[in-house]
Amino acid sequence: MRPFDPRLLRAAPAARGDAALLAASGVGVAVAAVGSAYALARTLAAAADGRLDTAALAGFVVALGLRALLAAASGLAAARMSATVKAQLRHDLLQAVGDRGPAWLTGQRAGELATLTGRGLDALDGYFTGYLPQLILGVTVPAAVLITLAFSDLTSAIIVLVTLPLLPIFGILIGWQTQSATEKQWRRLQLLGGHFLDMVAGLPTLRAFGRAQAQVTAVRKMADQHRIATMQTLRIAFLSALVLELVGTISVALVAVPVGLRLLSGGLTLSTALLVLLLTPEAYAPLRAAGSRFHASMEGLTALDQAFTLIGSAQDQHQITDTQASEASDGLRNRDLQEKTVARLDRVTVEYERGPALNDVSLDIRRGDRIALVGPSGGGKTTLVGLLLGFVTPTSGAVLRSAEDLEVWRRKLAWVPQKAHLFAATLAENIALGAPDATQVEIEAAAKAAHLDEVVASLPAGLDTPLGERGHGLSSGERQRLALARAFLRTHSELILLDEPTSRLDAKSEQAVIDATERLVAGRTAVFVAHRPAMLRLATRIIHVEDGRLTERAAVTA
């Protein structure tokens, strides 16, 4: 078994009220349990004497009704607490992913995150609505029972006090084994989810190269591994439930047998004996239930640990970045950047697992510069753009920007990536992604400036035409022009970043994009990755990036 994790309330302060209600309900249920047992014992003892104790019977009915109401309140508080915590954790997870940037969320990791935020956090329902209420009752009810027994029959209280710890001890021992099996099951599930997501995304390519069946076989193999891990976890859960029931039953018998013998010998009154026999099972029942329901919550707890690890590592990364920025000169960051320079790379090194992408590079981006980044693929051009966007964190050195807050800085940017993501929404909504308050006239003007007006005219509903996910229905060139229209709409942008905007385009589409790009960057500060010679004539500075190092070349003159 596992105690309550205080990180939950720190992560979701809004759930503290429900947590207090849950604890109060647990205390109320404990009092009601003792009250109902006391009233029932008096009722049965009076019946044995041929009398009807109406006051005790009424008290028993009231205690049962109160216990039912408190149980319902506890269930409601647990369900609301679960929903609140899950919503907050999902928000924090997405925030952590956003802080890390799109460079981190690639391939298998995207599928694992989808599994974590979906199935993983949903599994916390079993913890909040099943295990946690029983855990609270496992503290309050045994305490109330022991206090009552201490005043009613000290011998029985001592037996209960000695045998009661056996349940959590066995529960903890079994829980260690269950945790290992559940972590293995969760890793298999994440691997399956991530691989399946990658396979679905690449299905057209797999079909084209005849590899679809091989991936079906791979998914089936991983599904079998997950099934085996799940069955191993269930086997442990069923065996542990048997052990806890056996220990609980034996513990109750250790109390019941002496009570019966003492009752026969006249050492106990019938009312006291009945009270002991009614209360003793109540002391063990919540712990047995908590042990049984703990297994149903293990998947959610495993996902919870992973979520906190991901959120915490993102916060640590933020602190590292802030420390790196604070080490730079205040005068350099404030006066110089605001007056002359938009951004500066100061002795920046970026290392990936495969090796360094940038090695001790420095670069000033002055106002009015139009910098073209050229060089072989893999040289570090896209990494440099990612640094300016805040999507990549330097291993050493500092990235100085005209706005210290990253969110404020990004509001000053316009970005056109290699392959812009389009959503299942209207054409106008896709254009206005970075400027949601834009008017229809402004959207039309941005579309025209990006040479998208001919495309709009050919669509059945113009700008109100719905697009499929990833821009299904538009060609590559049309998607790229739509991305440029987004940049045109961000008229307040201080810096324009373009990552190979003409890649994968035919000659006609390339020329249209270059013409639109020329209008976009005219009189503004821009950094763009260029592989085509036609883009170089837009540049006032050309930076050659190769093997993680920067070399400035003379700009191309018209």
Task: Check whether residue 516 and residue 549 sit in a common domain.
Answer: yes
Three-state helix/strand/coil letters over 338-400: HHCEEEEEEEEEEEECCEEEEEEEEEEEECCCEEEEECCCCCCHHHHHHHHHCCCCCCEEEEE
**Domain assignment of residue 320, yes or no:** no
- Dihedral of alpha carbons 400, 401, 402, 407, sign: negative
Which one has a higher pLDDT value, 136 or 352? 136
Cα distance between residue 199 and residue 206, in whole Å: 8
Last residue of a domain, one of 262, 279, 314: 314
117 and 215 belong to one structural domain = yes
Same domain? For 301 and 342 the reply is: no
Same domain, 386 and 495: yes
Exposed/middle/buried for 214, CB within 10 Å: 0-12, 13-18, 19+? exposed
169 in any annotated domain: yes
Residue 504 confidence (pLDDT):
62
Q: Which amino acid is residue 252, in one-letter code?
A: V
Instruction: For residues 150 and 279, give the distance between their C-alpha atoms in angstroms, rounded to a whole number.
Output: 12
Indicate if the pLDDT at residue 62 is higher than 70.
yes
CATH of the domain at 354: 3.40.50.300
Which pLDDT value is given to residue 25? 93
Q: Residue 259 pLDDT more than 90?
A: no
Query: Which element (helix H / strand E) includes 245?
Result: helix 212-264
| Rounded-to-integer distance, Cα 378 and Cα 395, Å | 18
Average pLDDT over every residue of 424-438: 85
Among 435, 392, 394, which Cα is nearest to 413's? 435
Together in a domain, 206 and 250:
yes
Q: How much is the pLDDT for 231?
A: 76
Q: Which residues of 167-201 are buried (b: 16+ CB within 10 A; e: fewer)?
A: bbebbeebbeebbebbbbbbbbbbbbbbbbbebee
Boundary-marking domain end, from 249, 280, 314: 314
Contact between 152 and 289 (Cβ < 8 Å): no
Q: How confident is the model at residue 313 (pLDDT cuts 50, 70, 90)?
A: low
Rg value, the chain, Cα = 33
- 325 falls within a domain: no
pLDDT digits (tens, 9 = 90+) for 508-521: 777 777 778 888 88
198 and 282 co-located in one domain: yes
CA–CA gap between residue 546 and residue 358 (Å, rounded): 9
Asked if residue 65 lies in contact with residue 306, where contact means CB atoms within 8 angstroms, the answer is no
Residue 426 per-residue DSSP state: B
Alpha helices in 131-211 (DSSP H): 132-152, 154-163, 166-201, 203-208
Looking at the structure of the chain, the number of domains it has is 2
Query: Which of 314-318, 438-442, 492-496, 501-505 has the least mean pLDDT?
Result: 314-318
Judgement on whether residues 301 and 336 belong to the same structural domain of the protein:
no
Rounded to whole angstroms, how far apart are CA atoms 326 and 339? 20
Per-residue pLDDT, averaged over 344-370, amounts to 86
Residues 55 and 141 in one domain: yes
Is pLDDT above 90 for 241?
no
314 versus 79: the higher-pLDDT residue is 79
Assess whether pLDDT exceeds 50 at residue 407.
Answer: yes
Tokens of 116: 């974590």
Where are the strands (E) in 470-540, listed by range?
Answer: 495-499, 526-529
- Does one domain contain both 338 and 266? no
Task: Name the percent of the chain lying above pLDDT 70.
Answer: 83
Residue 32: pLDDT above 90?
yes
Mean pLDDT over 220-238 rounds to: 73
By CB neighbour count within 10 A (0-12 exposed, 13-18 middle, 19+ buried), where does 457 fall?
Answer: exposed
Which pLDDT tens digit goes with each residue over 519-534?
A: 888 888 888 888 777 7
Q: Do residues 343 and 410 touch, judged by C-beta distance below 8 A?
A: no
* 2 CB-near residues (< 8 Å, 6+ apart): 175, 294, 301
Note whether 280 and 335 are same-domain residues.
no
Decide: 85 and 124 in contact? Cβ < 8 Å: yes
Q: The domain spanning residue 16 has which CATH number?
A: 1.20.1560.10
Alpha-carbon distance values, 266 to 261, 269, 272, 273, 550 (Å): 9, 7, 12, 11, 97
Write down the mean pLDDT value for the chain.
80
The answer to the question of residue 127 being in a domain is yes
Give the model's pLDDT for residue 29. Answer: 92
pLDDT band, very low/low/confident/very high, at 435 (cuts 50, 70, 90): confident
Q: Is the pLDDT of residue 122 over 90?
A: no
- Say whether both 386 and 304 belong to one domain: no
Which domain, by its residues, includes 453?
330-553
Among 33-37, 195-199, 383-387, which is the least confidently predicted range?
195-199
The DSSP bridge pattern shows strands 541-546 and 549-553 to be antiparallel
Q: What angle do CA 43, 46, 48 make, to 5 degrees?
A: 110
Identify the weakest region by mean pLDDT among 192-201, 297-306, 410-419.
192-201
Collect all residues with Cβ–Cβ distance below 8 Å to 115 and sequence separation of at least 6: 189, 190, 193, 194
The band of 61, judged by pLDDT with boundaries at 50, 70 and 90, is very high
Residue 233 has pLDDT above 90, yes or no: no
- Does any domain span residue 324? no
The reply to whether 446 and 513 lie within a common domain is: yes
